[in-house]
Structures are given as structure tokens and as C-alpha cells.
Chains A and B, each alone.
Chain A
């Protein structure tokens, strides 16, 4: 009785039902119909990073100015792709913290910081976080020390906390999870340390593990084991460290997998090393592998295939098809049929010297080993170890039919080291290794925004930048592409022609993906530089 009386009093006080905006699965499914919000890491399930907003155009882009800025409390670099839901922005900060911000004014509303053990040093990646997922009333956060945490989106209260993996095995997670219908899918990072990669699916309500798919065999009888000589499947690799995509009609999740271990010395692991450096398509209910496509068999340059796959529809050879496009770290742009994994097209999108081309099935025709394999003195190969593209996202516009990628041209001297490695311990003293790289000729590495015709990979235009940029791309219905150069100039290009229209020097490298949203009908564009989040709008 008391409880009822109290609830009535509450209602009288606020005069409204508790009505914080929920995000049921239906909203995620139809995210394109609410362009004012950014409901998941990639914008929509196809990871297209396309904003339907039109207020900012090539005609008025020159008037963009900073609406507000938010500075992280701690040091480090913000790599987060924010979510914006009904006027609230959810951003993550290193190592694994979440802040809710009023998206109209930039005022912080609440902050959540999980306790991360101080002695944890992940190998081969920065301790950072790239974003959360939202479903129902909860945000879902994957932490650097391998936990999946459900937070009440209203206030950051922990609803459940489950451990995905043991950091002592070398796992570390930086990605934003992907929310499906009542389920959360999340991968793991840490391949440098010899951990076996896997993709997991958890119940969104209570954190129960629903399924897990391992990308590399853990016994001689597992699929793919026969592509690792001498039982070297036990080395591990194939980590799933970047957020993937989802086709709700086919009910398939698409995820890229990382390099085999050890990185630069393939002697002890002859064979194609499935399912590393591949795209895997898993049934979202069972986690069973529907199909796979391997981009880089027996890979020895640390070219993970963990780039976000972009899903789109187009007509190919007179037939309407469901497609998957991926700009790979190995410098090739691939188009696959996403129902079957059939290879349709593959062409270089950046300078590469390791393959003569791809055969009819999309398998690389590698150049002679002495020209491309790591050696004790160092072999100059293009692209660099960091790849023709790394973790930041490309985007796709259904209006222009173009795929926009921040492409890196540059080479590195690949050095082969000792094959022996030890599983990572939490002291981070030894890692996967097997060698490494020395940079190629100085000043030569450059990055350019390239617009590729999405079904063929043919370059339509390019915007060359100075320096080595690590920024993703965003394209809008208003006709603009946003990205940034290495110095931190955040700029807008005409999406049809590549003409630069506006820029602002933010003062630090932009290591993140831009997004766009609207509040009360006003469009904002967001990107972070260093430890500051900048939000732009028209006056």
C-alpha cells in the first residue's frame, strides 16, 4: 500500500509517466528512419555510416562552427564513436569509461568508470574504448579487461557484469558490441599475444552466454585445423577485434578476423591458416558458420581483416544482389555476395606490391616469396604494417553509390624475428611478435580519401592529404563527406566531387569516426581530436 501511495506521489510530482526513451529492437532495425539519432556503432546494421540529415550542404558547409566541446578528464586519446539517442549522447573514454552528455549543450549528465586492474597492459593495442551499444533500457559496454557490462542508460547503474575472457590469456577488448534482438554480439582483441579469437553472443537481459564461435581450431579435429601445419593451430590468432555488421533478413552476423600467430614469421605454421584474415558469416541464433571468405591466406604482415564490412544492395550483371564490401588492410577492395560469400570483385584501392592480383575466386596471386616475405634485413613491401586502412571505418552513400575510404599508401620494411613467443601474461612482458617492421622511406606514407564506385571499386575521385591520417569517414544525405588529416584538420568534402569545402584545425590527431545527429531539428557533426570531443553545427 505504501509503495502504491508513493508511486502515485511520484507521478503527481513529475506529472508524467516514467518515460525515458527506450530503444526496442524495432528502432534498431529501422534506424535509417530516425536520422536524428545514431543508434549503433556503424550507424545502421549495414555499418554504412550514412547520415540521412540534410541541413548541412555543400552550399552552407563553410559556415560550420563549433557548437560545443567536451574534454575527457583523463589523458589519452578518445577513439569513441558516440551514440546519440533522443538528445542524449553516450561516449566512451579510455580505458573503458562511459559518459552521458546532453547532446544539445554538451553538459555531462552521468559518468561510469569500471574498476580496471592497474597492472593490466594489453599488448599491441592502446587501452581505449570505441563505443557502446544500446538496446531496450540498457547500454552495453565491453571493457579492456574483457568484461561485458550492462548499464542502465538513464543513470549508468550496473545491471549485470559478465566476464568474456581472461586477460591473463592475452585478450583485451576495445570494440563497441553489436545489439541484435535480445542479444549482444561481441568479439575479442589481443591476437598479438597468441590468444585464440572468438565471437560471443550474450542474452541482453541477464548476460548469459548464448553461443561462441572460435575462429581458429582448438583441436586437430576442428574445422580449419588441417590448414595449420604441425598442429600450429595451437598458436592461436584470428581475433575479432572490430565491430561487425548484421543482415536481419538473412539473420547473419558478419565479422572480420585478425592475423595468425606469430605475426611475421610463418615458417612454423605453413598452410592457409583458416579462419584468420577472413570474413565469417554466422547464424545469429546459433553461431554456426554459414560461409567464410579468406582475404589473406598464410598472412605474414599483420594485415588483420578486421575492417567493418559494409552491407548494401546493388545490381550486378543485371541481377539485384545483397552485397558486402570490405576495404582490406592488405590494400584490396572486395565485393562479395553476402548470402553465399561468393567473390564478385577485388581491386587494389591503395598502393600494394605483394600480389599480382586476385584469381577468379578472389585468392591472391602472391609475388615471389623473396620479394614479399619478412626477412632478417627487412623486406620493403606495400602497404605498411598498419595497413592500407586500419580500424577506423569507411562509409557508403546509397545516394551516390560510392564507398568512401581513408586509404593509406606507404610501405614498410618487414623484419622476421625469432618464431618463439610466449602467451601473454598480465605483465605484458612478452608478446606474439616473431618480428616486426621498420618504417619505409620517410615522408612517403600518405593518406587520401578515395571515393570508389561501390560495386566495382573503380576510383571516382580522391582527395590527397598530408601525413598519416587515422580518421574514419562519414557521408551525409546533405551531400558531404567528413574526415580529418593527420594534423587534426577536420574537413568537409563534396560527396560527389571530392572538392574541399570547409576545415578547422582541431589541434590533435583525430583517431576516431565522425557521426552526425540532430536535436530539435538542428544538425550536428561530431568528431574527437586528442582528448576533446568537438561538435559542429551551422550558426
Chain B
């Protein structure tokens, strides 16, 4: 699990669930029904509308769903129009759902523009189903000690992100790209930083939190290292590196199976 995931989830849970006072619409309002299907606003959208929708998405949605909508904090939206329908997407943007707060200050026209853009997200090609065997993939997961750093449900470690629902927020393609080279595109919150103190000792760890005056790192043992920047000589990010090793030399079968297993992790339904 990641500090950022926890933080952001907590923020959004607070905003959505705990702070009915701040967002009264979320708490007590009857969800707004989207316009009737026969009006079919989506069919009337122009390329300018879609472009607007893309801009609104980038500003208000990408922070959680990724700029390409493939998911990050929030789930992968590719193909969501097939799962929810246009009216369904409209309703979710208007009213929120689960940990997602409603998106405020968009009039109906703008929401439809966003719907229109979201519909295009799958246009990079359908998400191919994972081709391996999830049961065999679990064996690969266990054999490679993944649970030392990752948690699924209540078992496993907390060094890396929780994988309990990773199948809902990442398509199989993501795993094929990621596993051989985790350092190329690590998720937010896992940047590796190396600090050298004025007294000479060095610590390399995952950056937990940093401000103008302090920085906190954590190591794979779960130890926190808290520094006043005045006591540090250098602070260097280590781009392209993570504490997660590469799994590039898994056999093709093992890789397919592992990806299938990870894609099957969707949490308790």
C-alpha cells in the first residue's frame, strides 16, 4: 500500500462520506436522474465538444483516473460506457459514487462533453482479456515472494502498494509494461530518494513526505527516517529506480499467468 493511496483515499473518503457538512449534496440529495435516453445528447456532440470534454477531464478527472483514464487512484475507465451506459456515466459525474465525490460546477452541457470524451477512452483498442491462468499465476506470485512487499486483503507486507483491487484499476497491458521495469513508471508515492547527511551517513528510501524544511523516507523494513534539511548535504531523487526488482526474466507462461492473476484481483464484491 502506498502512503499516497492511503492519504488520497482518506481525503476522498472524508470528503465523500465523513464530511456531509461540506458537501451536502453528496449526503442527502436524491441523485439527479440524467435526461431521458431519447434526447440522446451524446449523439449531438461535436468534435469541439469532445475536445472540451478532454480538457475538463484533464483538469478534474485525471488526478484520480489518469490522463488516459486507465486508472490510478480511481479505477480504469476504459470501456466504462459499456458497463454503465452514457446515462450512467452522467449520473456518476453528477452524484459521485463510492469514494468518488460528485464533480461540481459543471452544467449539463459540460457533463455531456465529459461523457463524450470518456467514451473515446477505449479507442486505443479494446482491453484484451488476460490470457493466462489466474490459479497458476497465484503460484508464481507466491513463489517469487511478492507478499513480502505487497498486501492482498489482510495478508502481505506494506512496502509496496496494496494489490487487493489492482485488477480493477490496471489493464493487463500495464502489468506487461511494468513488471520487467518497475522503475520506468513507478506509481506516485514510490519515488526513491537518496540523502547524504552532513555527518556523512547515507540513507536511500522511498520518500514519504517532504516540505521546505523536512523530509521523511522509509526503508523496506518499514523504518521511517526523518530529517531536518539543514542537517543534510544532498538530497537526490533516483529516477528510474524503485525498491521493486525487475521480473523481466519470468518465462512467457509464468508472466501470462501472473498477469492473469493480478488482473483477477478485484477485491470483495
Binding site for B on A (CB under 8 A): 2-4, 6-7, 9-10, 13-14, 16-20, 73-75, 87-88, 94-95, 97, 102, 104-105, 107-113, 115-116, 118, 152, 154-161
| CB of B214, distance to nearest CB on chain A (Å) | 5
B42 at the interface (CB under 8 A from A): no
B222 touches A109 (CB 8 A): no
Contact with A along B34-72 (1 / 0, CB 8 A): 000000000000000000000000000000000000000
For residue B22, which residue of chain A has the nearest CB? Answer: A75
A73 touches B222 (CB 8 A): no
**Interchain Cβ contacts under 8 Å between A and B, 17 examples:** A2-B143, A2-B144, A3-B144, A4-B145, A9-B245, A14-B205, A17-B221, A18-B222, A87-B224, A109-B3, A109-B208, A111-B7, A113-B13, A155-B158, A156-B1, A156-B158, A157-B162
A74 touches B151 (CB 8 A): no
B104 at the interface (CB under 8 A from A): no
Q: How many residues of B contact A (CB 8 A)?
A: 44
CA distance A96 to B9 in the complex (A): 15
A10 touches B14 (CB 8 A): no
CA distance A158 to B155 in the complex (A): 9
Q: Which of B208, B220, B224, B245 meets A14, CB within 8 Å?
A: B220
A154 touches B158 (CB 8 A): yes
CA distance A238 to B143 in the complex (A): 52
B251 at the interface (CB under 8 A from A): no
CA distance A9 to B149 in the complex (A): 13
A3 touches B145 (CB 8 A): yes
A115 touches B220 (CB 8 A): no
- Cβ of B208: which chain A residues have Cβ within 8 Å of it? 107, 109-110
For residue B215, which residue of chain A has the nearest CB? Answer: A107
B14 touches A20 (CB 8 A): no
Q: Which of B221, B228, B243 meets A16, CB within 8 Å?
A: B221
Supposing A19-B223, A110-B3 touch, asked if A157 and B158 sit within 8 A by C-beta, the answer is yes
- Cβ of A94: which chain B residues have Cβ within 8 Å of it? 18
| CB of A80, distance to nearest CB on chain B (Å) | 15
Q: Which of B158, B162, B221, B226 meets A104, CB within 8 Å?
A: B226
- Cβ of B7: which chain A residues have Cβ within 8 Å of it? 108, 110-111
A2 touches B1 (CB 8 A): no
- Cβ of B82: which chain A residues have Cβ within 8 Å of it? none
- Cβ of B17: which chain A residues have Cβ within 8 Å of it? 115-116, 118
B103 at the interface (CB under 8 A from A): no
B243 touches A10 (CB 8 A): yes
Contact with A along B147-159 (1 / 0, CB 8 A): 0100100101010
Supposing A73-B10, A118-B27, A160-B154 touch, asked if A102 and B224 sit within 8 A by C-beta, the answer is yes
CA distance A88 to B19 in the complex (A): 27
CA distance A115 to B16 in the complex (A): 11
CA distance A94 to B10 in the complex (A): 12
8 extra A-B contacts, CB within 8 A, seeds A74-B14, A102-B216: A2-B143, A73-B10, A88-B224, A105-B228, A107-B211, A111-B10, A118-B17, A157-B156
- Cβ of B19: which chain A residues have Cβ within 8 Å of it? 74-75
Supposing A3-B144, A155-B222, A157-B158 touch, asked if A73 and B11 sit within 8 A by C-beta, the answer is yes
B154 touches A7 (CB 8 A): no
